[in-house]
C-alpha cells in the first residue's frame, strides 16, 4: 500500500503516528509499545463504503440458504470467523459479513423463560446496542459484538467484527427499530405463508425424536401471536418481500414441494430497479411451456403486475411451479428484464452453482438469486456515486 503522506498529530499521544494514503483513503494508527515490538494497527477506514442490508426471516441465522446465495453472488464462500467461538453465528467472506441479530438478545434462554417472553418479543432484544454497533460498522469502526449461543442458550463472550464492504444483518427484527431501519440501504422480508411454514417444519422436525405432528403444530400456534404482533409488521418497511405460498397448479397440494413465490418490489427505491417481464408496468401472465419448451407436470407459470402493497407502489413478479431442466431456467432468464446480470446466463449459472441448496428448482432460489444480483448492483451504484461525488468535491 503506497503511503503518500505522514502526519504526526499533536493532539494525540506522542507515541502515536498517523499515516494516510490518499489513494485508498485509509488511516493507519500506530502505537509504539516501549516493552514489546508489537505494533497495534487500528485500521480506521474513513470513507469505506459499507452498505447495510437487512433481512427479516423466521428461520435460524446466517446459515440460511438465502445468505449463502447472497454471499456467493459477491464471490467467495462465507465461513464462520476463524479461530473464534465455534458456535458463532457470524459468517464472513471477502466482501460480506453476515451478522445474526439473535446476538443482540438481552435475555438468554433462561432469562426469557423467567420473564415469560419469546425471542420474538422486543423486550428480549437490545435495540440500543444493535443500533450503536450497526452504526459503528457502517462508519467503518470495528465492534465487539456479543454472541448468542444457540446450542447452550447463553450469551457468550463477544467477538471482534471488522467493518466489511457489505454488512448483512439477518434475524427477526432488522426493521423493527426505526433508527436501525434508517441505517439500512436495502431491506428484504422473507414471508412464508402458514401452510408452507407448517409443511417445512414438518419436514425439518419429524426426524427429531420427541416431535410429533401435534407438537409442531402447537409450537407454531403458540408463537403466532408474538409473530403477528412484532415480526409481521416489518413487511411494510421492506424494499423487497419474497412471499412463499402454496402452489395453485396442483389442487389440494399440502406437501409444500411445489411453491408459488412472489417477489414484491417497491417502486421508487434509490438504486433499485425492479425486475420485469416483457413490459414494465403492465400486467403479464406467461406460461413458458409450449412449443419451444417442454416442461413436465406441473409446469411453470409466471405473472407480472403492478400493485399496491401497504400503500406503496410495487411491482410483483410471481413464479408458480418448478424447474427440472437447465434449459427451462435459461429460457426463463432470457425473457426477464432488468436482472442486473453482468452477462447472459448469470442467474442460471448462480442457480447451478448451488444446485444442492433447497429451493434451487423453484421461485425461492430464483428470486433469492435475483435479489442478490440487485444488491450487488445497488452496491456498485453506490460506490460509483460516492466516487463521482468525491471527484466533484476535489474539482
CA-based max dimension of the chain: 79
Choices 26-34, 188-196, 213-221, 334-342; region in contact with other proteins by CB under 8 A: 213-221
Query: Is residue 207 near other proteins by the rule CB under 8 A?
Result: yes
- Contact yes or no for 387/283 (Cβ under 8 A): no
| 106: contact with other proteins by CB under 8 A | no
Among 13-21, 190-198, 221-229, 318-326, the segment contacting other proteins (CB under 8 A): 221-229
Query: In which element (H, E) is residue 165 found?
Result: none
Q: Per CB under 8 A, which region of 204-212, 257-265, 294-302, 324-332 contacts other proteins?
A: 204-212
Residue pair 184/175 in contact by the 8 Å Cβ criterion = yes
E strands, 173-292, are 186-192, 240-246, 259-266, 276-277, 284-286
112 binds other proteins (CB under 8 A): yes
388: number of Cβ within 10 Å? 10
> Does residue 181 bind other proteins (CB under 8 A)?
no
Question: Which listed residue (83, 251, 292, 311) binds other proteins by CB under 8 A?
Answer: 83
Cell numbers given for 379: 452496491
**Tell me, what DSSP letter sits at residue 228?**
I
The Cα 115–Cα 295 span in angstroms is: 54
Q: Tell me the closest approach of the beta carbon of residue 169 to other proteins, in angstroms.
A: 18
- How far is Cα 335 from Cα 318, in angstroms, rounded to an integer? 14
Number of helices (H) and strands (E) in the chain: give both, helices first: 9, 18
Spatial separation of the C-alpha atoms in residues 310 and 113, rounded to whole Å: 35
Mapped onto helix, strand or coil, the DSSP state of residue 221 is: helix
157 belongs to the binding site for other proteins (CB under 8 A): no
Q: In angstroms, what is the minimal distance from the CB of 205 to other proteins?
A: 5
- Crossing angle of helices 194-205 and 213-226, rounded to 10°: 130
Q: Site for other proteins (CB under 8 A): which residue of 19, 20, 24, 59?
A: 59
151 binds other proteins (CB under 8 A): yes
> 300-309 and 312-321 as β-strands: parallel, antiparallel, unpaired?
antiparallel
One of 119, 199, 241, 319 touching other proteins (CB under 8 A): 119
- Interface residue with other proteins among 135, 150, 235, 312 (CB under 8 A) is 150
Q: Which of 24, 95, 106, 118 binds other proteins (CB under 8 A)?
A: 118
Minimal distance, residue 188 CB to other proteins, in Å: 20
Name the residue nearer to other proteins (CB basis): 157 or 395. Answer: 157
Measured CA distances, 376 to 54, 57, 327, 361 (Å): 14, 20, 25, 22
Minimum CB separation from other proteins for residue 308, in Å?
33
Q: Which range touches other proteins (CB under 8 A), out of 58-66, 176-184, 273-281, 375-383?
A: 58-66
Residue 375: CB minimum distance to other proteins, A? 24
Least CB distance to other proteins at residue 128 (A): 23
Contact status: 208 vs other proteins (CB under 8 A): yes
Residue 232 lies near other proteins (rule: CB under 8 A)? no
**82 scored as a contact of other proteins (CB under 8 A):** yes
CA 187 vs CA 52, 101, 181, 308: distances in Å: 9, 14, 8, 18
**Residues forming the site for other proteins (CB under 8 A):** 59-60, 63, 82-83, 109, 112-113, 115-120, 150-151, 153, 201, 204-205, 207-211, 215, 218-219, 222-223, 225-226
Amino acid at each position: 500500500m503506497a503511503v503518500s503522506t505522514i502526519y504526526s498529530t499533536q493532539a494525540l499521544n506522542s507515541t502515536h503516528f498517523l499515516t494516510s494514503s490518499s489513494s485508498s483513503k485509509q488511516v493507519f494508527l500506530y502505537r509504539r509499545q516501549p516493552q514489546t515490538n508489537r505494533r497495534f494497527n487500528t485500521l480506521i477506514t474513513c470513507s469505506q463504503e459499507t452498505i447495510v442490508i437487512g433481512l427479516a426471516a423466521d428461520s435460524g441465522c446466517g446459515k440460511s440458504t438465502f445468505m449463502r446465495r447472497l454471499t456467493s453472488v459477491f464471490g467467495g464462500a462465507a465461513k464462520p470467523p476463524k479461530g473464534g467461538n465455534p458456535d458463532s453465528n457470524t459468517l464472513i467472506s471477502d466482501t460480506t459479513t453476515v451478522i445474526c441479530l439473535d446476538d443482540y438478545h438481552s435475555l438468554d434462554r433462561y432469562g426469557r423463560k423467567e420473564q415469560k417472553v419469546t425471542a420474538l418479543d422486543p423486550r428480549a432484544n437490545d435495540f440500543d446496542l444493535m443500533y450503536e454497533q450497526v452504526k459503528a460498522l457502517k462508519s467503518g469502526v470495528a465492534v465487539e459484538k456479543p454472541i448468542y449461543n444457540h446450542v447452550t442458550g447463553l450469551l457468550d463472550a463477544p467477538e471482534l467484527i471488522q467493518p466489511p464492504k457489505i454488512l448483512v444483518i439477518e434475524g427477526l427484527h432488522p426493521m423493527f427499530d426505526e433508527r436501525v431501519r434508517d441505517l439500512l440501504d436495502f431491506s428484504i422480508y422473507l414471508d412464508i405463508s402458514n401452510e408452507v411454514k407448517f409443511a417445512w417444519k414438518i419436514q425439518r422436525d419429524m426426524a427429531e425424536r420427541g416431535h410429533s405432528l401435534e407438537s409442531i403444530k402447537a409450537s407454531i400456534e403458540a408463537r403466532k401471536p408474538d409473530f403477528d404482533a412484532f415480526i409481521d409488521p416489518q413487511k411494510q418497511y421492506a424494499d423487497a418481500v419474497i412471499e412463499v405460498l402454496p402452489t395453485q397448479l396442483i389442487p389440494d397440494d399440502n406437501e409444500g414441494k411445489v411453491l408459488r413465490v412472489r417477489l414484491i418490489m417497491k417502486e421508487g427505491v434509490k438504486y433499485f430497479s425492479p425486475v420485469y417481464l416483457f413490459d414494465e408496468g403492465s400486467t403479464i401472465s406467461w406460461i413458458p411451456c409450449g412449443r419451444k419448451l417442454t416442461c413436465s407436470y406441473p409446469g411453470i407459470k409466471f405473472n407480472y403486475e403492478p400493485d399496491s402493497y401497504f400503500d406503496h407502489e410495487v411491482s410483483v413478479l410471481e413464479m408458480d411451479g418448478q424447474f427440472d431442466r437447465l434449459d427451462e431456467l435459461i429460457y426463463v432468464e432470457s425473457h426477464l428484464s432488468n436482472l442486473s446480470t453482468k452477462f447472459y446466463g448469470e442467474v442460471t449459472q448462480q442457480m447451478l452453482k448451488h444446485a444442492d441448496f433447497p429451493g434451487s428448482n423453484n421461485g425461492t432460489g430464483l428470486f433469492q438469486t435475483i435479489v442478490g444480483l440487485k444488491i450487488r448492483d445497488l452496491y456498485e451504484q453506490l460506490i460509483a456515486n460516492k466516487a463521482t461525488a468525491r471527484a466533484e468535491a476535489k474539482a
